[in-house]
Amino acid sequence: MIKNDLFLRALKGETVDRPPVWMMRQAGRYLPEFMEIKHKYDFFTRCQTPELASEITVQPIRRYGMDAAILFSDILVIPQAMNIEVEMKPNFGPYLPNPIRSQKDLDSVIIPDIQDSLGYVMDAIKATKEKLNDEIPLIGFAGSPWTILCYCVQGQGSKNFDKAKELCFTNPVVAHSLLQKITDTTIAYLKAKVEAGVDAVQVFDSWGGMLSPTDYQEFSWQYIQQIIDALKDITPVIAFGKGCWFALNEMSKSGASALGVDWTCSPRNARYLSGGQITLQGNFDPTRLFSPPATIKKMVHKMIDEFGKDRLVVNLGHGILPNIPLDHAKAFIDAVKEYKAS
C-alpha cells in the first residue's frame, strides 16, 4: 500500500484536505544534483541506465517531498525503439538524421518488441519503486502519437512543425500509417510500464496546440483516445495537451482520469469546458516561478481556490525551466502543502 496516496485519490475524484502536487520535468535540469550526473553521462546513457534513471527520478522527492514521482526518461525512446535514429545534441536538442517523409521511409519503421528494445525502462521502474519504498506513487509517461510524429517528420524541434503538418496535409496515408504504428507501440509500452509497477500514466501532447481544432481530431486526438481506451481499465490515465483548451470538452468524455491544463486557460474556463466532473491538473505558468517566493505562494493559493481543492492535481502548465531558483521551486511545493481551504 502506498503511504501517501493523495495523488491517486485526487485522480479518483475523492474529497481531500488539500490537492496533491508534482511538477512536470521535476526530475532534471534545475537541480544541481542532476547537473552533476549530466556532466558525467550523456543524455541517452542517463535514460538507458536504470541506476541513473531511478536516482534522477527520486532526487526532487528527497529535496522537496512532492506527492508523486515521474520516471526520468524521454518521449523519444519510442522512435528509437521503432528503428528511427534519434540523437540528443548539446545546446540543440533532439536531432533525427533520417526523418520519415515518404512511404519508403515508413517501410523501415517497425513496431518493436517492447521488452527487447525498451526493457531498460522497465528495469528503471523497478529500481525506482524500490527507492520510493511505497512512500508515493510513480508516474510513467509517453508522448502523444502526434507529438512523436512531429519529431519523426521534422527531424528536430521547431516553432511550427511545418514539415510535419505538410506531410499530414499532402500525404495523409503515410501520416496516418506512421501515427498508427506509434500508437500501437505506445500502447504496448505503457502496458509494460504498468506491469513493471507505475501507478498512473500521462500522455504528453506537447505540440497538439499546433493544429486547428478540426485537424487536432484527425491527427492527434483519435490516437490518444486509442491509448486511453487500452489503458484506462488497468491504470489512471492523464491526458495533457499543451495549447489544446479547445478540446477539453471532448477530452472529458474520453475515460481519462485527469486532464492537464496549461496556463493560457483560466481555472474557471477549464472547469467549464471540461464539464466540471473530471480531475484537472495544472496550471501555473512555469515562468512565474521567477516571482518572489511570497508571490508564488499567494498565487498558488489563489489558483487552488479558483479550481477548488477537489478533483485537482496542482502542477505547472508545462515543464519547469532550467534556471528556476531552488527556493522558488520549494515555495511552489510548500504553498500546496500549506494550503487550507478558505
Per-residue model confidence as pLDDT tens digits over 53-102: 999 999 999 999 999 999 999 999 999 999 999 999 988 999 999 999 99
| Closest to 75 in 3D by CA, of 208, 164, 173, 202 | 202
Dist CA 125 CA 186 (whole Å) = 16
For the domain that residue 229 is a member of, what is the CATH number? 3.20.20.210
In a domain, 42, yes or no: yes
Question: Partners of 91 in the beta sheet?
Answer: none
In a domain, 1, yes or no: no
Gyration radius from the chain CA atoms: 19
320 — pLDDT class (breaks 50, 70, 90): very high
Beta strands in 206-257 (DSSP E): 237-241
Say yes or no to pLDDT of 305 above 70. yes
151 is an annotated ligand-binding site residue? yes
34 is an annotated ligand-binding site residue? no
In a domain, 304, yes or no: yes
Alpha-carbon 141 to chain mean position = 6
Structure confidence by residue, pLDDT tens digits, 247-297? 999 999 999 999 999 999 999 999 999 999 999 999 999 999 999 999 999
29 is an annotated ligand-binding site residue? yes
| Closest to 105 in 3D by CA, of 62, 47, 49, 163 | 163
26 is an annotated ligand-binding site residue? yes
Task: Read off the DSSP letter of residue 62.
Answer: H
284 is an annotated ligand-binding site residue? no
At 321 the three-state DSSP class reads: coil
Domain that holds residue 250: 6-337
Q: What is the pTM of this model?
A: 0.97
| Closest to 235 in 3D by CA, of 306, 309, 137 | 137
Structure confidence by residue, pLDDT tens digits, 189-234? 999 999 999 999 999 999 999 999 999 999 999 999 999 999 999 9
In a domain, 172, yes or no: yes
318 is an annotated ligand-binding site residue? yes
Half-sphere exposure of 179 (CA within 13 A, CB side): 27
120 is an annotated ligand-binding site residue? no
> What's residue 342's pLDDT?
66
In a domain, 52, yes or no: yes
18 is an annotated ligand-binding site residue? no
Structure confidence by residue, pLDDT tens digits, 7-21? 999 999 999 999 999
321 — pLDDT class (breaks 50, 70, 90): very high
341 — pLDDT class (breaks 50, 70, 90): confident
In a domain, 81, yes or no: yes
Domain count, the chain: 1
Residue type, 301: H
In a domain, 113, yes or no: yes
44 is an annotated ligand-binding site residue? yes
Angle of helix 32-40 versus helix 50-64 axis, rounded to 10: 160
Half-sphere exposure of 157 (CA within 13 A, CB side): 10
328 is an annotated ligand-binding site residue? no
In a domain, 238, yes or no: yes
Structure confidence by residue, pLDDT tens digits, 140-166? 999 999 999 999 999 999 999 999 999
CA distances (Å), 263 to each of 120, 168, 204, 313, 316, in order?
34, 28, 15, 14, 8
What is the DSSP track for 256-313? -SEEEE-TTS-HHHHHHHTTT-SEEEEEE-GGGGGS-HHHHHHHHHHHHHHH-SSSEE
CA distances (Å), 288 to each of 155, 215, 302, in order?
31, 31, 14
Residue with grid cell 519523426, as numbered in its chain: 152
